Structure 1
Amino acid sequence: MVLMMASKILYLAVIIMFGSQVASAAPPSDENPPPRPKEGRVTTKYCEFFNGSQTSTCDTSKNSTCVPDVIREECPPVEADKSNHCFVLWQVDNVTNTAYPKVKGCFVDTVSCTDRASNCRLHYSKLPLLHCCCEGNMCNQNAVFPGIEAGIPSQTEVPPARVPASAVPSADDDTKAVIAYTLTPLFLLFAILVGCYLLYRKRKGSSFAELANGEASLSRPPSAGAGMENEAVGLVGQVTLCEVRARGRFGAVWRAKLGQRDVAVKVFPLQDKQSWLAEQEIFRLARMDHPDILHYIGVDKKGDNLQAEYWLVTAYHEKGSLCDYLKGHTLTWVEAWRIAACVARGLAHLHEEGGGKPAVAHRDFKSKNVLLKADLSACIADFGLALIFVAGRGCGDAHGQVGTRRYMAPEVLDGAINFTKDAFLRIDMYACALVLWEIASRCTDAASDTPGQYRLPLEEEVGSHPSLEEMQEAVVQRKLRPHIPPHWRNHPGLLVLCDTMEECWDHDAEARLSASCVLERVCAQQPASIAPALTPDTTPLLIHELAEHQPC
């Protein structure tokens, strides 16, 4: 066995030394070799083994009668569609024109030696090598060199195609292959993403007029139809997006054109469809067409499947949100009162129930969600987190800790909410107190000097972007509230506003004022200078109902 293993190693060394064309013990295959005969084929189990390295006691040049030692190799078992053969690999000397056996042994092939056009094949490398095969036990023992012509194909035989040897791949080749296989899918994925993005941008930039003919037109509740009788037909084709004015939690707000009018279009992405449904549900409630609630025009869907966008069309107010306006403007007491009165009246209307309208809690009330009209009256917007309270029905699957952290009441930050209507309405009143503080902080009538730079509530205490933990520590544990400078109380109207906000941000939720009480207090401070000029948009609508309540 050791000698046999040594022969295999030696044979491989010969193949490497004399060229890569002899890649195995088997000769090159014919172009179209005949199939192996299934019946009557010769079985080969033993072959003579020779590799030129073993020593022999018989030297035929000195003693012609001695018999050389013969090593018999047992051929290994093979698969059903293959068989063993014996072979002799002759090395030819071109100078002396002689040949001697280099290697003998067994080899496996799928084609019978006798079925080939020739049982010898000539290999050219550094020296000619002639590979001859035979079938039958020990058939290669007394093999005679057939001559080099035996390996040359006849004129009628089609020579086999010469296949160039493949170079052994180097480490650099492997690295290049890995890089190619890795980067090619990435480039393809990148190209697909770029194509999808460009397609998305192309569709997004179009107007409502590009909707399919089968899309439903803008839908409006009965309460939102005032002044829109002439717009009921062809409304979809008249809406065109112009520019992005704001971006929020649930999408972007665009200034758009509806005929000659400016309107606002809030675009919800596909993943925020639920917020779009929730907000239009609030607008569709009875008695929601109120001067201190953002005027609702309609909704629509653009695109299908992953390209779908959900649009909410409302009135457009050029001055933007109260927060943005206060950053660049100060207020007189008359302007501050007008905004405070509208805020209180809007919340009071939202919280009340009656006339077919249920009570509604905003749950994300803040100065960003208060919009200013041209005359500095205000209206409440963004009802994506609002809750509707219907008698005999619970809060559903409402989550307690929602909204903007800076405006969260202590019980919301602490996760100790009582899931009742009154509890959610009191959460709104805490946020209302912070908005009133923002209004008062920009009022020029509070002091002789111009108010300082605008700051968000508790910005000095917790910074511009507080974490939930920072707000919990400041509001719940340390019970911090926005600072009220003493000189604010020198103004009679601001004095009432300061007392009101302190009662609304009380740590005890049950001690907070209701929206109707805040409205009563603010309306009592109405400046006499604007009384003759009161418009329907600023006249409190709930004054007639205040007689039913206890004095606030």
Structure 2
Amino acid sequence: MKFGVMIIAFAVSQQICAVDSETETTGRKCAKYNHKCTSDDCPTEEVCQDPKGVTKASFCYASWINTSSEIQLVMKGCWLNDKSCTGLSKCVRTHTVKHVDFCCCDGDMCNSEIEANPIEQLPITTTSEPGIVRKTGDEQLLRTIMYSIVPIIGVCFIVVVVFWMWRRHQRNIYMYHQQLPTVDPISATPSEIALCPLQLIELRARGRFGSVWKAQLHNENVAVKIFPLQDKHSWMTEQEIYNLPQMNHENVLHFMAAEKRGDNLNIELWLITEFHEKGSLCDCLKGRILTWSDLCKIAEGMARGLAYLHDEIPASKGSDAKPAIAHRDFKSKNVLLKNDLTACIADFGLALKFEPGKNPGETHGLVGTRRYMAPEILEGAICFNRDAFLRIDMYACGLVLWELMARCNVLGDVEEYQLPYEEEIGPHPSLEEMQDLVVLRKVRPIIKDIWHTHPGVAQLICTIEECWDHDAEARLSAAGVEERIAVLARTVNISTSTNHLVPSVAIIGTEEDMPAKDSSI
């Protein structure tokens, strides 16, 4: 406030001709006041001419501070020529600077009384206005420019940055494509596919690494898994696993070809396999209740396929040796069912092969689906060797066997299908939640007490618990699971009408044909 008073006082002292003594000359008269003059002889009038008769000012002015309780005068006197003051018979506030109000008027002693209420009028823009008013106008102009131009500049900058990043991304994709190797179809020749192109019919599934379509090749239905370009590594890994020697097995999905489709930035990576109408085991369990024979057939085929992957198959005539393979993402969604419920294992995008004397390549431990991760993966304590990775598959195998068992009608009332740990932790667990549940609290999916009352199911429970044992070295092998389930399927008969388990008595053959007794069952 004091600063504003000083500004007004300085402007007045530079522009107004102060007349401190009475003169006999005639001219414009204005009321005179200076808040700094406190004596009794302070002038109350001012003639706006100098003693020589030269007019120094044509108008009167007043400045004051408008407080909440009263008006405190600051200065009054003559004002230089100012077109905005012309014709104003009263001194009415025109603007405020630093809490100091200002008015000017045209007429003798017109500033004797002031009106503090503002009136609508044009802003003061004359060249003769004081420096403080000019400064305020400049500040307002600058503020207006800032508020209008700066946001536009900011938006333009963001658009330019986004465009530059998009161009850079497109250029990287193009360079990535330039380095992409050409892959010829495996089972079908390029001419066959060119003459009879695949026709995509229906989208069947969408996953982390791509989408799966039902398609038609010639007169045969096939499955086409389409990878985006950024998942080239998974596409190449699957091809590599499928193309290993002796990989043609009943319980492993049959591979047909791999292709690049499209050009430039529109490339898609296709993996063509056999098509199975029933889809994945997970999809089947959602809409189907299993009988005991269904359970045994699916579980045995699944275990047989996993055992074949884990085994090293020696070289034979015309074929090289097959190395051991760890799936690393084993789950019910990656087990497909044929029409006769024969299970076959699919999706090898994370698989690792273990050839004797060779490095298995990149062996990052924390991969797979969270709810199927073994305790050693969740706590980061895995040893990067073949047996460790195979035992991780067996932990997941135990969870899939539990999914099968929970949907079997020999257990009484069958509840709605749930994924492993869905009841304990929900459908979308975080890594931290799985660590707390599986590693720290050592929780496993619920096994109801009534399930132990059925001999065959009780034996299957023992197998499941040995698969998901917290101690990885104590887990069963895939071959052991296959053998146990085969024994159950051959020696235990369950009447679907009574849901009772009874030993099978219709076994014919010599003692050598009888199944070997497994002491662990």
TM-score in same-fold range (> 0.5): yes
- Secondary structure of the residue aligned to 2:192 is coil
Q: Which residue of 2 aligns with 1:336?
A: 295
Contact 1:433-1:504 within 8 A present in 2 as well: yes
Equivalent of residue 266 in structure 1, options 203, 211, 225 = 225
Letter in 1 for 2:469: D
Equivalent of residue 449 in structure 2, options 474, 478, 486 = 486
Matched, 1:374 2:339: yes
Aligned length: 356
- Secondary structure of the residue aligned to 1:525 is helix
Q: Which residue of 2 aligns with 1:526?
A: 489
Equivalent of residue 394 in structure 1, options 353, 359, 376 = 359
Q: List per-residue Cα deviations over 1:231-252 (Å, max 9, x = no partner).
A: 7742244212223221111111
Q: CA deviation at 1:302?
A: 2.1
Please give the TM-score of this superposition, normalised by the length of structure 1.
Answer: 0.57
Q: Which residue of 1 aligns with 2:185?
A: 219
Q: CA deviation at 1:334?
A: 1.2
Q: CA deviation at 1:370?
A: 0.8
- Secondary structure of the residue aligned to 2:392 is helix
Matched, 1:235 2:200: no
In 2, Cα distance between equivalents of 1:235 and 1:318: 23
Q: Which residue of 1 aligns with 2:286?
A: 327
In 2, Cα distance between equivalents of 1:217 and 1:475: 42
In 2, Cα distance between equivalents of 1:471 and 1:169: 61
Aligned identity (percent) is 52
The answer to which of 497-506 and 462-471 deviates more is: 462-471
Letter in 2 for 1:515: A
Equivalent of residue 400 in structure 2, options 435, 441, 444 = 435
Q: CA deviation at 1:493?
A: 2.9
Q: List per-residue Cα deviations over 1:384-407 (Å, max 9, x = no partner).
A: 111100101233331112111111
Seen in structure 2, the aligned counterparts of structure 1 residues 241 and 529 have a Cα distance that, compared at 3 Å, is farther
Letter in 2 for 1:288: M
- Kindly report which structure 2 residues correspond to 1:186-197, keeping only aligned pairs within 5 A, or say none: none
Q: Which residue of 1 aligns with 2:88?
A: none
Q: Which residue of 1 aligns with 2:36?
A: none
Equivalent of residue 411 in structure 1, options 370, 376, 380 = 376
Equivalent of residue 424 in structure 2, options 453, 461, 469 = 461
Seen in structure 2, the aligned counterparts of structure 1 residues 475 and 353 have a Cα distance that, compared at 3 Å, is same
Q: Which residue of 1 aligns with 2:480?
A: 517
Letter in 2 for 1:234: E
In 2, Cα distance between equivalents of 1:274 and 1:406: 24
Q: Which residue of 2 aligns with 1:158?
A: none
Letter in 1 for 2:419: L
- Kindly report which structure 2 residues correspond to 1:32-111, keeping only aligned pairs within 5 A, or say none: none
Please give the TM-score of this superposition, normalised by the length of structure 2.
Answer: 0.61
Letter in 2 for 1:389: F
- Secondary structure of the residue aligned to 2:270 is strand
In 2, Cα distance between equivalents of 1:322 and 1:186: 48
Q: Which residue of 2 aligns with 1:360?
A: 325
Seen in structure 2, the aligned counterparts of structure 1 residues 196 and 339 have a Cα distance that, compared at 3 Å, is farther
Seen in structure 2, the aligned counterparts of structure 1 residues 408 and 256 have a Cα distance that, compared at 3 Å, is same
Contact 2:213-2:225 within 8 A present in 1 as well: yes
Seen in structure 2, the aligned counterparts of structure 1 residues 529 and 511 have a Cα distance that, compared at 3 Å, is closer
Matched, 1:420 2:378: no
Q: List per-residue Cα deviations over 1:354-387 (Å, max 9, x = no partner).
A: 1310000001101111112222221111111111
Letter in 1 for 2:426: G
Equivalent of residue 499 in structure 1, options 437, 442, 462 = 462
In 2, Cα distance between equivalents of 1:235 and 1:480: 51
Q: Which residue of 1 aligns with 2:203?
A: 244
In 2, Cα distance between equivalents of 1:337 and 1:513: 18
In 2, Cα distance between equivalents of 1:415 and 1:192: 40
Q: Which residue of 2 aligns with 1:290?
A: 249
In 1, Cα distance between equivalents of 2:183 and 2:349: 22
In 2, Cα distance between equivalents of 1:188 and 1:388: 47
Contact 1:446-1:490 within 8 A present in 2 as well: no
Seen in structure 2, the aligned counterparts of structure 1 residues 398 and 529 have a Cα distance that, compared at 3 Å, is closer
Seen in structure 2, the aligned counterparts of structure 1 residues 191 and 418 have a Cα distance that, compared at 3 Å, is closer
Q: Which residue of 1 aligns with 2:271?
A: 312
In 2, Cα distance between equivalents of 1:395 and 1:330: 40
- Kindly report which structure 2 residues correspond to 1:56-205, keeping only aligned pairs within 5 A, or say none: 172=144, 175-183=147-155
Q: CA deviation at 1:268?
A: 1.2
Contact 2:327-2:352 within 8 A present in 1 as well: yes
Q: CA deviation at 1:488?
A: 2.1
Q: List per-residue Cα deviations over 1:283-311 (Å, max 9, x = no partner).
A: 00111111111111111112345432211
Q: CA deviation at 1:524?
A: 0.9
- Secondary structure of the residue aligned to 1:234 is helix
Contact 1:408-1:431 within 8 A present in 2 as well: yes
Q: Which residue of 2 aligns with 1:90?
A: none
Q: CA deviation at 1:324?
A: 1.9
Letter in 2 for 1:422: D
- Secondary structure of the residue aligned to 1:311 is strand
Q: CA deviation at 1:173?
A: 5.7
Give unpaired runs (5+ residues) of structure 2: 1-49, 53-125, 127-139, 170-180, 315-320, 494-512
Seen in structure 2, the aligned counterparts of structure 1 residues 504 and 196 have a Cα distance that, compared at 3 Å, is same
Seen in structure 2, the aligned counterparts of structure 1 residues 190 and 420 have a Cα distance that, compared at 3 Å, is closer
Seen in structure 2, the aligned counterparts of structure 1 residues 258 and 188 have a Cα distance that, compared at 3 Å, is farther
In 1, Cα distance between equivalents of 2:380 and 2:168: 42
Contact 2:290-2:408 within 8 A present in 1 as well: yes
Contact 1:364-1:385 within 8 A present in 2 as well: yes
Q: List per-residue Cα deviations over 1:500-546 (Å, max 9, x = no partner).
A: 0011111111111111110000111225899xxxxxxxxxxxxx9x9
Q: CA deviation at 1:323?
A: 1.2
Q: CA deviation at 1:492?
A: 3.3
CA RMSD between the two structures: 4.0
Q: Which residue of 1 aligns with 2:236?
A: 277
